[in-house]
Amino acid sequence: MPSDRDRERLRGTFDRAGALYQRARPEYPDELIDHLVAVSGLHTGDRLLEVGCGTGKATLPLARRGFRLTCVELGAELGAAARRNLSGFPDVEVVHDSFEQWSPPHDVRFDLVLAATAWHWIAPTVRYRKARTALRPGGHLAFWSATHVFPDDGDPFFAEIQDVYDEIGEALPPGTPRPRPGELGEQRAEIEASGLFEVVDVRHFDWETVHDADSYIDLLDTFSGHIAMDAWQRGRLYGEIRRRLSARPDGRLRRHWGAVLHVARRRA
């Protein structure tokens, strides 16, 4: 887990990618969103609080399903992009603030607090307490992250490109796992250890996206570690990505994604 200092430094980089994020990041599977709604017992018109909505990747499918959403987004540019993307939904509000500092209106409590690829950016000492405070009795917390997984028949490109990461000083730490679909870590124990929530359901989802060199580099430019690289590092890495993909007959790569959806109920 990143230190508090690293967490603050890296999460602040995402606002630089506001123009790219909506286009470059993948959509979440409908199956994930539908399962979240079913397990949480949500109904049309319920009030949801989203932590770190970014440009609205998870917000939009939930708004289309008829929920009222308040979204708290730290990045001004990301929040502005979310407002544009969600302008057709009057029941969606995007607030520019950090979740740590934000407080709900005195008379408002939510049916669900959710975070899509944002929960890990909130300090563990804060996130469960703030979520519980925002929820009505019996309300739910849900979070997941979209991350890279490596099926046995996956694209070898990612193993092959590691030599360039090593060259530019961005090598993976020794022993870094390459999880297969279904092997991502779960946070049941952390949820229960908070004493504030009981786990209702944990489920793994996976999907695949296909990229040419331009769209893959756009995707990398939305990841905090790549945004924080020096310009020479990105130049060397991206040039080699273009060279290697140009040597492929179709000029494309396949990237496999995994997510672990955690749903928990607020304890009395």
Q: What is the pLDDT of residue 114?
A: 98
Mean of all residue pLDDT scores within the chain: 93
Average pLDDT of span 185-204: 97
Q: What is the pLDDT of residue 18?
A: 61
pLDDT per residue over 215-267, tens digit each?
999 999 999 899 999 999 999 999 999 999 999 999 999 999 999 999 999 99
pLDDT per residue over 134-170, tens digit each?
999 999 999 999 999 999 999 999 999 999 999 999 9
Q: What residue ranges define each of the domains in the chain, with the CATH number in brackets?
A: 4-152+176-209+256-266 (3.40.50.150)
Which carries the bigger pLDDT value, residue 106 or residue 88?
A: 88
pLDDT per residue over 6-45, tens digit each?
444 444 444 555 668 888 999 999 999 999 999 999 999 9
Q: What is the pLDDT of residue 9?
A: 43
C-beta of residue 217 within 8 angstroms of C-beta of residue 224: no
Q: What is the pLDDT of residue 130?
A: 96
